[in-house]
Structure 1
């Protein structure tokens, strides 16, 4: 059973999507989304995508790149994924070593990675010199059997519910809200330097983004809160980001956006909704659990200084 590593090819999109669904059951993956993530990566990201192949089958994959959307230089990310049926035979180690080599070559001084919060994955990271920094909880909502909170009978004065599609002609106001909210997200490396062209390429034009199920709350015509939604055509709905601009926080507008989006998702035939939150983000975790979301997994963020192990 010879293991080989090679660069990602467009024909790998489906097997990599299948791999991601098997390895990370709480996330969403589609062939078109996988292909887009790689093809549309901004040059400053310095992305290199590799697959591990055994007996002609893609059994592992890694994306190694700089965290170019941060104002802190020299930060990189490389998270290997290996199919559950093929772990323990060296694929993860080979992928991670290749990812770290690429990061070092493009100037990264730190390598960040996520591991599933389970003993085997945590031990894998520890053996390779990675130290844990923070945890994220992933939550699942059964849209078929869970009663969603009702929408308010009347919205407050000046408040309006829109969809992402309503911003098709000019998405910049949504970008500005997303950039502000994302910069405030709990993180080891803040995403505080996202440019509009990069946001268009990596968020707005992502084929998994469902503009019809993305809800935007405006107040007197200004974007105040939003929830971005991705779908896979298989009944799965994923909240990729929910945020509120600083000037509008404390008024329940992010919860309103999510309530509206979940109602639309269920009406559109989605049967499962997924979301994730940093464990320090108590307010958003409370909101999600109030909807009926329940834990379905977790990941632990790790970091290693690039250099001799």
Structure 2
């Protein structure tokens, strides 16, 4: 087997490999194109490859590091190797993963993080054999909109009344949103990202990188829901409507002093109601098992558990 760096035009093949590994995982090639285009500005911060055996593509591999390391004593990079069932080899997996680790270490990383689905027959064991240990478990969920339409729309109506009583206005953005609005949203993201449960601090992206993600395919301005107290932004959430795969929750954040008032639930219900009105049938999300507040919201809204994601960690300095 050999590695070939991805290049423009590989997006559909790369996406096809992902679906070949897990048929319920769809990736929009247009999103891959946008991500790769953004990453070209800092090529020293990542490497993405197709795994080839002869002329056949049988997997993909990557390593990535943030543009700026997160605050803290440990610098964590993401690595992974995914191989199509029937072409999986523990020996090849280990060799390719070593290449990703070496590149990540050369970029300054102290540890490598790799994510696997808990229901995968090959991937978790292959990571363990390469010296990785379990770090965290997150839970994936799916909300069936078709079965709960009336209940969810009623909950949205009730939440609107609750928010009005405490002086919270909920509204979606529109195409006239100026830079000050985007700056407000970015400020809230930067404030709440450190609150996401994690063993290693998550790096806060630059405003430019964050804004580019907010304009990737599948993100629509009028589907970003915000909550305001007077002129102050207190919460926001949005779904990603990709051309392939489920509609999924991308982010939800609430200022600390406004938590516990039902605001996150209210903005999520607006995004859910909008998805129903747009004819969508389900929404997926993923949350760390220590994120008790969001897990409680998911449970009360009727989300059903799916196979979760396991984050593995390995030191690159020992």
Question: Could you tell me the TM-score, scaled by structure 2's length?
Answer: 0.87
Which residue matches 2:70? 70
Question: Does structure 1 retain, via aligned residues, the 8 Å contact 2:28–2:245?
Answer: no
- CA shift for structure 1 position 184: 0.5
Segment of structure 1 superposing worse, 120-129 or 91-100: 91-100
Please tell me whether residue 86 in structure 1 is matched to residue 97 in structure 2.
no
Please tell me whether residue 277 in structure 1 is matched to residue 287 in structure 2.
yes
Count of paired positions: 305
Cα deviation, 1:35-62, whole Å, max 9, x if unaligned, reads 1112212628701111112353433122
C-alpha RMSD of the superposition: 2.3
1:165, 1:69 → 2: CA distance? 33
Please tell me whether residue 230 in structure 1 is matched to residue 243 in structure 2.
no
Counterparts of 1:157-168 in structure 2 under 5 Å? Answer: 157-165=166-174, 168=177
Flag the 1:178–1:123 CA change in 2: closer, same or farther, 3 A.
same
- CA shift for structure 1 position 145: 1.7
Segment of structure 1 superposing worse, 75-84 or 295-304: 75-84
Question: Does structure 2 retain, via aligned residues, the 8 Å contact 1:151–1:260?
Answer: no
Question: Does structure 2 retain, via aligned residues, the 8 Å contact 1:80–1:92?
Answer: yes
2:140, 2:302 → 1: CA distance? 13
Cα deviation, 1:222-277, whole Å, max 9, x if unaligned, reads 21111121112357210011111112111111110100001101111222210000
Which residue matches 2:198? 187
- 3-state DSSP class of the match of 1:87? coil
Segment of structure 1 superposing worse, 29-38 or 210-219: 210-219
2:11, 2:102 → 1: CA distance? 24
Which residue matches 1:108? 109
Question: Does structure 2 retain, via aligned residues, the 8 Å contact 1:28–1:238?
Answer: no
- 3-state DSSP class of the match of 1:205? coil
- 3-state DSSP class of the match of 1:99? helix
Question: Does structure 2 retain, via aligned residues, the 8 Å contact 1:211–1:229?
Answer: no
Which residue matches 1:131? 133
Which residue matches 1:141? 143
Question: Does structure 2 retain, via aligned residues, the 8 Å contact 1:32–1:208?
Answer: no
- CA shift for structure 1 position 141: 1.3
1:292, 1:259 → 2: CA distance? 12
Segment of structure 1 superposing worse, 136-145 or 117-126: 117-126
Unaligned residue ranges in structure 1 (runs of 5+): none
Cα deviation, 1:164-195, whole Å, max 9, x if unaligned, reads 43673221111111111111000122225332
Counterparts of 1:1-309 in structure 2 under 5 Å? Answer: 3-23=1-21, 29-41=27-39, 43=42, 46-67=45-66, 68=68, 70-72=70-72, 74-88=75-89, 92-118=93-119, 120-147=122-149, 148=152, 149-152=155-158, 154=161, 155-156=163-164, 157-165=166-174, 168-170=177-179, 171-201=182-212, 203-234=213-244, 236-307=246-317
Question: Could you tell me the TM-score, scaled by structure 1's length?
Answer: 0.89
2:184, 2:30 → 1: CA distance? 26
- 3-state DSSP class of the match of 1:144? coil
